[in-house]
Structure 1
C-alpha cells in the first residue's frame, strides 16, 4: 500500500545532494534556503514558521527482516509554505486506508523521527490511544496545529507520529526536553485544547530514555495484535 498516490509531489529540497563532510555544505544549504524563500515570497506564497517533512514506516506483519528500524523510515516530502503543505497533504493517503502496522511521521526539517536523533535524545513524547474510527480526524487536527504553529512551546516540539496498529491507533507528540516540566505540561494542555480531547482520553508522557531502557517502543509492536 503506497503512502502517496501515483501523482508525485516534487520536493525541491536539494540539500541531500551535498556530500557528508563537505566544508561548504552549511553555506550551500543556507544559500539555497535563502534563495528558496526569496522565490516563495516573490510568488506570493506564505512561509511557515517551521519547515516540516512527512515520513512513513511500513513492515509486513509476521515477517522479521535484517534491516534496522531506521532503514525502514522513508521520507515522503518536505514543505515550507502554506501552499506547498496543502499540495503535499492532499496527495497523501488517509490513515484509514493504510494497513497495520504503519507509522506516519511529521517532523521539523533536520530532525529524524528517531529517539537517537540529537534533537530527540533528551526528550520524550505525549501518547494518546484512539479507536481506529476516530484517529484520522485527531491526526489531521494535530497536523494542522503543528503546521500552523498553534501549540504552546512550539520551539520545544520536534514532531508527531501516528502509529496505525491492528486494534487501535496511537498518536504521539515529541518534544526536546523531558526534564522541562513546565514545557511538558503546557504542551499537554495545549494538545488537549486544540484537539478538543474528551475527558475520557488518557494522556501518558514517556521520556525517550525510558523507552530505550525498557525496549517498549512502537518499534517492537510490529508483530503485536
Structure 2
C-alpha cells in the first residue's frame, strides 16, 4: 500500500492506495520492479508491505497488542535499506513465525524511517530477536539507535514516532 504525500486526514486508511497483492516471490518481483524507488518518492509518503488480511493500522486485530521497531535513516539510504528489509521479511529471515505483521517505509523531510510491526509487544524475547535480526539484515552499525513503540501507546498519543523507547 502507498499513502499519498501530504494526506494528513482523520481517516488514515482512506489515504492509502492498495498497489497489489502477491502470493510468491516471483509475483512480488513482478510488482516491485515497477514501483517507484524510495528515493524517488515525494516527502511525506509511506510504503506499507503487510500480510494479506492485516491492515496497516494500529487498530487492526493483528496489530492492536503489538508494536514496532523503528530505525531512522539519513536521507539517501532508504532505497537500499527498504529493499533489504523487504527481502528479509519475504524470505522469512526473522524466524519468529507469524509474529511479524508488516513493514513500513516513511519518507519525511529531514529523515526516512523504517519500521517493522509485530503482533505481541509483551513478548520480550521475540521482540529482541526481531530487533537483532533487523540490525543484522540491514547491516546496521553497532551504535545505531533503535526505537520501539507499542501500538497501544501510539493510540494514546496519536503518534507514530514520538515518545518511543530508545535502545542503544
Q: TM-score, normalised by structure 1?
A: 0.69
Correspondent of 1:78 among 21, 26, 31: 21
Q: What is residue 155 of structure 2 aligned with on the other side?
A: 212
Is 2:94 the counterpart of 1:148?
no
Correspondent of 1:167 among 107, 110, 122: 110
Counterparts in 2 of 1:81 and 1:70: CA distance versus 1, 3 Å: same
Q: What is residue 57 of structure 1 aligned with on the other side?
A: 3
Cα drift, residue 59 of structure 1: 3.4
Matching of residues 1-225 of structure 1 within 5 Å: 55-60=1-6, 65=9, 68-217=11-160
SS in structure 1 of the partner of residue 80 of structure 2? helix
CA contact (8 A) 2:5 2:42 kept: no
CA contact (8 A) 2:121 2:150 kept: yes
Deviations 1:13-60 (A, max 9, x none): xxxxxxxxxxxxxxxxxxxxxxxxxxxxxxxxxxxxxxxxxx011133
- Please identify the structure whose Cα radius of gyration is greater: 1
Counterparts in 2 of 1:76 and 1:129: CA distance versus 1, 3 Å: same
Q: Any stretches of 5+ residues in structure 1 without a counterpart?
A: 1-54, 219-225
Q: TM-score, normalised by structure 2?
A: 0.91
Moved over 2 A (4+): none
Deviations 1:101-159 (A, max 9, x none): 00100000110100000000000000000011111111100000011111131410000
Cα drift, residue 214 of structure 1: 1.5
Counterparts in 2 of 1:214 and 1:60: CA distance versus 1, 3 Å: closer
Query: 1: distance between equivalents of 2:6 and 2:29?
Result: 30
Query: 2: distance between equivalents of 1:203 and 1:124?
Result: 13
Please identify which structure carries the higher helix content.
1
SS in structure 2 of the partner of residue 173 of structure 1? strand
Taking only aligned residues, the RMSD between alpha carbons, in angstroms, comes to 1.4
How many correspondences in the alignment?
161
Deviations 1:70-100 (A, max 9, x none): 1111110010112111111101110000001
CA contact (8 A) 2:74 2:112 kept: yes
